[in-house]
Amino acid sequence: MVGVRRLSGAGRGLLVLGAALLLVNFFGIALLPSLPSLPWFTVSGNRPELPVGSYDALQTTQLLNQLANGPYAWLAFGLLLVVAMAGIAIAGIGERTRHFGTAGILVLLIYAAVLYLAAYQYNQQAAGSNAAITIGYGFVLAVIACALIEAGARWPSPVPMRARVPTAVRR
């Protein structure tokens, strides 16, 4: 086909690695209880609206749904799942695409911004409140996984060279 942009083997490997990291980050504890839990965010302080503790991917999504009063965070979580599945599909098909990993990074940044703004808002409402949000290793791993998906989806395959015409053999 004319104009088809193929992925290299390294690009496919990055796609699969990024998608696997993202899926294990989401569901690793449910599938393999022996895996260590990597929290996405840790909430501290004394505000009842933001319960104190460490939150993994699913717990962060549930907390965001409570803060937003709706299922909006589940839509964002679904988009992150689509990014992971698209990474696997793109690796299987081998076509170069763009912006799946970028969409995942943007969703993750929205997660962090909403939690930070919620803590800031609750700190402004009452004197003496000290709600704080810290980013955990699980969140950083999710961002790295999305970056690997984006890098792998853009990695071109080497340009095929034309076959050389064999030279005549002198005897």
| C-alpha closest to that of 15 among 100, 80, 81 | 100
Confidence (pLDDT) at 141? 93
Confidence (pLDDT) at 160? 60
Beta carbons of 29 and 56 less than 8 angstroms apart: yes
Angle value at C-alpha 6, between 163 and 157, nearest 5 degrees: 60
3-state secondary structure of 164: coil
The pTM (predicted TM-score) of the whole model is 0.82
**pLDDT averaged per 10 residues in sequence order, the chain, 171 residues:** 66 89 84 81 84 89 85 88 90 81 91 87 75 89 92 76 61 63
Confidence (pLDDT) at 2? 47
| C-alpha closest to that of 115 among 71, 78, 64 | 64
